[in-house]
Amino acid sequence: SAVISQKPSRDICQRGTSLTIQCQVDSQVTMMFWYRQQPGQSLTLIATANQGSEATYESGFVIDKFPISRPNLTFSTLTVSNMSPEDSSIYLCSVDFPSTDTQYFGPGTRLTVL
């Protein structure tokens, strides 16, 4: 099965700064998604990362706060901008492989904002 990696695995950041999270897959995938999981909560979809075009954001999430790139079929980044303590969460990328409708998750990035 494919390997999904995320960098960094965790970080502690100061408010007002930005952090870019990378998601790398070792094979080409059709869809890539970014989720947030706040402490004690379930997963909330932030956006779909579209290869070669702008990401599609869910209600409540905007590009200025969570810019996303997807330059090719194996890589995506999510930036959390102008962070506040409320952004402290686990950020997860997931991928959807060709000919399946099943999502698999990366290991996640645990972000703490002070």
Cα–Cα distance measured from residue 16 to residue 13, given in angstroms and rounded to the nearest whole number: 9
Q: Considering the complex, what minimum distance in angstroms separates the CB of residue 16 from other proteins?
A: 27
Q: Considering the complex, what minimum distance in angstroms separates the CB of residue 82 from other proteins?
A: 26
First to last CA, the chain: 37
111 binds other proteins, rule: CB under 8 A: no
Q: How many contiguous H segments (helices) and E segments (strands) does the chain have?
A: 0, 11
Q: Considering the complex, what minimum distance in angstroms separates the CB of residue 77 from other proteins?
A: 18
Side-chain-side CA neighbours of 35 within 13 Å: the count stands at: 18
**Range in contact with other proteins (rule: CB under 8 A) among 16-24, 67-75, 79-87, 88-96:** 88-96
Work out which of 21, 68, 83, 106 binds other proteins, going by CB under 8 A.
Answer: 106
56 binds other proteins, rule: CB under 8 A: yes
Question: Residue written as tokens 């979809």?
Answer: 45
In whole angstroms, how far apart are CA 93 and each of 24, 77, 80, 114? 9, 9, 14, 23
Cα–Cα distance measured from residue 60 to residue 14, given in angstroms and rounded to the nearest whole number: 23
51 binds other proteins, rule: CB under 8 A: no
Show contacts with other proteins in window 25-44 (CB under 8 A): 30-31, 33, 41-44
Q: Which residues bind other proteins (CB under 8 A)?
A: 30-31, 33, 41-45, 48, 56, 90, 92, 96, 101-108
